[in-house]
Amino acid sequence: MTRMKNVFQKIAVDQEICMHCGACVGTCPKNALFLHDLTVAADENCNGCRLCVKVCPIGAIEIIAKGADA
């Protein structure tokens, strides 16, 4: 099955894996991630630092474009 990926600024959150726990939201040093209802979204402040990728306990986040600092 093809997984739907919600694509945002620089990260992609696999909504079929995501458990909406907020680990990435609280970790993001730029406060660029938000938990809206049942989706995680990133805004233009994301610099692609990868902390959200690593903190996500289940690996639901990937970087789809390199940030300035990455």
Partner 1 sequence: MKSLATDILVVGAGPAGSMTARYAARGGADVMIIEKRQEIGSPVRCAEGISQSLLSKVELELTPKCIARRVIGAKIFSPAGHCLTLSEKQAGDEVGIVLDRVFFDKHVAKLAINEGADVRLKTAATGLIKEKGKIAGVKATSPEGDLTIRAKCVVGADGFESQVGRWAGIDTNLSPNDITSCFQYRLTGLDYDPDYCEFYLGSRAPGGYIWIFPKDEDTANVGMGIQLAQLKTAGQIKQTLDRFIAGDERLRDGKPLDMVSGAVSISAPIDKTAMDNLLLVGDSARQIDPITGGGISNGCIAGRIAGDTLAAANEKGDFSEKSLQTYENGWRDEMENRLYRNWMAKEKLIKLSDETFDKIIATLAEVGVEKVSSLAILKAVESKYPELVKEFRQFL
- The nearer residue to partner 1, 9 or 21, going by C-beta atoms, is 21
58 binds partner 1 (CB under 8 A): yes
Which of 13, 23, 32, 46 is the binder for partner 1 (CB under 8 A)?
Answer: 23
> What number of chain residues touch partner 1 (CB under 8 A)?
23
Asked if residue 17 lies in contact with residue 58, where contact means CB atoms within 8 angstroms, the answer is yes
Instruction: State the Cα–Cα distance between residues 47 and 11, nearest whole angstrom.
Output: 10
Instruction: State the Cα–Cα distance between residues 65 and 20, nearest whole angstrom.
Output: 22
Q: How many CA atoms lie within 13 A of 51 on its CB side?
A: 16
41 binds partner 1 (CB under 8 A): no
Contacts to partner 1 by CB under 8 A: 19, 21-23, 25-27, 29, 31, 35-37, 51, 53-62
